[in-house]
A and B are shown apart, each in its own frame.
Chain A
Amino acid sequence: MDLSQAFSTMAADLPAIFSMSVVTVAGLVMILQESLSENDRPIPWIGVGALAVAVVWELVHLGDPAGTAFFESIRTGGFASYINLIVLGSGIVTIILSVPYLDHIKHAYGEVYAMIMFATVGMLMLGTANSLVSIFVGLETMSVCLYVLTGLIREDEGSVESALKYFLLGAFSTGFFLYGIALMYGATGTMYLPEMQGAVPEGSIMFWAGVALFLIGFLFKVSAAPFHMWTPDVYQGAPTPLTGYMSTASKAAAFASLILVLFYALPDERWSLVLSAVALVTMIIGNVLAVSQDNVKRMLAYSSIAHAGYVLVALAAGTTEAYAGAMFYLLIYAIMNLGAFGVMAMLEWDGKEGRVQSLDSLAGIGHEKPLLGVAMGVFMFSLTGFPPLGGFMGKYAVFAPAVDAGLTWLVLIGVLMSAISAYYYLRVVVVFWLADAEDTPEAQAASRSFVFAGIPVKATIALCAVALVVLGVYSGGLLEMTFGFFEEGMMAATP
């Protein structure tokens, strides 16, 4: 290859990684600010500013045609911009919610925000990857930062435990993932997703063994059963706003990447049955185990397992409509979960033993903090999937194509499980509004010195709630847009 040509191509491709570059540079500036200056106050706002710039850039490029950049290692265009918007938006919400929370628990280090930025870079790369190597690099950049963020409260045993579990199991799953990539590469001789489709040797056990290991790595990251064991412990121990980040942005990026792999590299229908089985187990385990949880964060962790199951239903269906529905669902899910974890972060206080998150200790809190109470109600109803809200449209967009693809039995289980989920989601609303603090000893015993929720936090949580209502009513345009990404990809894939 002509070397000078290579560098001019790379220079021309720079707009494709605009968001990644801006976020990286902001992260480096934050590190320097933290080490060189005594004043840590501006650090989170540098991050919010950089993420906002990237959001504007991605909004402008939402309608771009699909393409690749950097010698086909990164995807560009509408799909990439869409998933980047979810990740960047989650990053902004997380940083805004983290500021008062980390101040309250006295762990307001500048490095936390820099780590959030670097994790975001990893997710941006993961969600737009076009080759197995970019997927791996993105996944690891994201994971390493998340391991550190999980163990942030280092004098709390629960936090250290969760960080260690996450790190050890995550490193183990990375091994599976990498071995899967090696086998897939060995069988096909290519790392690029679109080329892989045509290069699979007929009846190659090596390739399908590789795909199985590769899927295990992915299913671990999106916490699908039976690779979900780490989720409740890790989500419980991590600082709450960062748990929200982990459960939304990293899952959205991992799912987007998985969709790209399934859509471009493996259009063969053979994996459909495997994914249906995983989706089935995931939905049942997530919903059934969530019922018995006292701790709200653990409940939300099991609920996030259940929601991974719903998305997997769409992936198992494997049609263009299903992928479009899954992309739409990821957006809705990100908003719901960020909001729910955000409210929980604001309703936490320093108890004697670490941080208290038991539901009973929040009896009647809705009357004390009406905005947070109402917002939590919206998030819970939406997570259950009540009609006017975004959660309903999301579930519809995921389940309807699955029925069309002949997975009626799976959708039936999904709907049944959603009915079970109403119990534990609505229990939160009942305790928030209808339970009386005077009758609940736990609420009496707690000192209830909450995180001070300032205007930015309240505005963010309110915005999430409003967005859910708006997206529930006006979802057609968005669904059409996500559908367009795949139509276009289909045409590009079959020249």
Chain B
Amino acid sequence: MFGDFIPLFIMIALATGLALTLLKAAEIIGPKRPNRIKRTPYESGMDPIGSARERYSVKFYLVAMIFIVFDVEVVFMYPWAVSFHDFIEGGAAFGVMVVVTIFTVILLIGLVYDIKKGGLDFEQ
């Protein structure tokens, strides 16, 4: 069964080799004309201000929690919505609805908690 994986290993070796070769080639062949602007860190087009080692407001984490609520929701809801038609045909529409409702309610409670704790309250 080890033999079955040989094409995979060849593939991995090729991919790694190609990536390394290209990087090295760019370093050797490419022209180098550095100036101050080119050397500054890239921050989406903004001029960098101050040090990057700052403490973040805890607000960011609350926003991140809201993001996770919706992120997890989409991960499960999208496949569910796509295959819902099959469930109706299989006669399991009610059961699937119940399960997804439970799931959504649990996530909703997380969202309520986060908002009540001031997750969207940027004033203070």
> Of A1-9, A57-65, A144-152, which stretch is located at the interface?
A1-9
For the complex, give the distance between the alpha carbons of A424 and B120 in Å. Answer: 53
The answer, yes or no, to whether B20 is at the interface (CB within 8 Å) is no
For the complex, give the distance between the alpha carbons of A31 and B73 in Å. Answer: 19
B117 touches A4 (CB 8 A): no
With A2-B90, A3-B87, A3-B90: A31-B95 Cβ-Cβ less than 8 Å: no
CB proximity to A under 8 Å, residues B13-45 = none
B109 touches A4 (CB 8 A): no
Is chain B's interface secondary structure helix, strand, loop, or mixed overall?
Answer: helix
For the complex, give the distance between the alpha carbons of A31 and B112 in Å. Answer: 9
Q: Which of B91, B95, B112 contacts A10 (CB 8 A)?
A: B95
- Nearest chain B CB to A84's CB is how many angstroms away? 21
The answer, yes or no, to whether A419 is at the interface (CB within 8 Å) is no
The answer, yes or no, to whether B92 is at the interface (CB within 8 Å) is yes
A32 touches B95 (CB 8 A): no
For the complex, give the distance between the alpha carbons of A371 and B46 in Å. Answer: 67
A28: B residues at CB distance < 8 A: 106, 109
A35 touches B95 (CB 8 A): no
The answer, yes or no, to whether A36 is at the interface (CB within 8 Å) is yes
CB proximity to B under 8 Å, residues A11-32 = 11, 28, 31-32
Q: Which of A2, A6, A32, A35 contacts B117 (CB 8 A)?
A: A35
B113 touches A35 (CB 8 A): yes
For the complex, give the distance between the alpha carbons of A35 and B113 in Å. Answer: 5
A31 touches B90 (CB 8 A): no
A-contact 0/1 string along B80-96, CB 8 Å cutoff: 00000011001110111
The answer, yes or no, to whether A34 is at the interface (CB within 8 Å) is yes
CB proximity to A under 8 Å, residues B92-110 = 92, 94-96, 106, 109-110
Nearest A-chain residue to B96, judged by Cβ: A7
A31 touches B109 (CB 8 A): yes
A4 touches B112 (CB 8 A): no
The answer, yes or no, to whether B116 is at the interface (CB within 8 Å) is yes
For the complex, give the distance between the alpha carbons of A31 and B115 in Å. Answer: 12
> Considering only CB atoms and an 8 Å cut-off, how many residues of chain B contact the other chain?
15
B117: A residues at CB distance < 8 A: 35
For the complex, give the distance between the alpha carbons of A4 and B89 in Å. Answer: 10
B86: A residues at CB distance < 8 A: 3
B92: A residues at CB distance < 8 A: 3-4, 6-7
B91: A residues at CB distance < 8 A: 2-4
Nearest B-chain residue to A4, judged by Cβ: B91
A34 touches B95 (CB 8 A): no
- Nearest chain A CB to B101's CB is how many angstroms away? 13
For the complex, give the distance between the alpha carbons of A358 and B103 in Å. Answer: 47
For the complex, give the distance between the alpha carbons of A8 and B91 in Å. Answer: 11
Nearest A-chain residue to B117, judged by Cβ: A35
Q: Which of A4, A10, A11, A34 contacts B113 (CB 8 A)?
A: A34
For the complex, give the distance between the alpha carbons of A10 and B3 in Å. Answer: 42
For the complex, give the distance between the alpha carbons of A28 and B112 in Å. Answer: 11
- Nearest chain A CB to B35's CB is how many angstroms away? 41
B110: A residues at CB distance < 8 A: 31
- Nearest chain A CB to B33's CB is how many angstroms away? 43
For the complex, give the distance between the alpha carbons of A139 and B74 in Å. Answer: 25
B90: A residues at CB distance < 8 A: 2-4
With A3-B91, A4-B91: A32-B96 Cβ-Cβ less than 8 Å: no
- Nearest chain B CB to A252's CB is how many angstroms away? 27
Nearest B-chain residue to A206, judged by Cβ: B1
A32: B residues at CB distance < 8 A: 109, 112-113
With A35-B116, A35-B117, A36-B116: A7-B94 Cβ-Cβ less than 8 Å: yes
For the complex, give the distance between the alpha carbons of A36 and B113 in Å. Answer: 8
B-contact 0/1 string along A32-70, CB 8 Å cutoff: 101110000000000000000000000000000000000
For the complex, give the distance between the alpha carbons of A31 and B65 in Å. Answer: 15
B-contact 0/1 string along A299-310, CB 8 Å cutoff: 000000000000
A3: B residues at CB distance < 8 A: 86-87, 90-92, 95
21 A–B contact pairs at CB < 8 A? A2-B90, A3-B86, A3-B91, A3-B95, A4-B91, A4-B92, A4-B95, A6-B92, A6-B95, A7-B96, A8-B95, A10-B95, A28-B106, A28-B109, A31-B113, A32-B109, A32-B113, A35-B116, A35-B117, A36-B112, A36-B116
Interface residues of B (CB under 8 A from A): 86-87, 90-92, 94-96, 106, 109-110, 112-113, 116-117
The 4 A-B pairs at the shortest CB distance, nearest first, are namely A7-B95, A3-B90, A3-B92, A4-B91
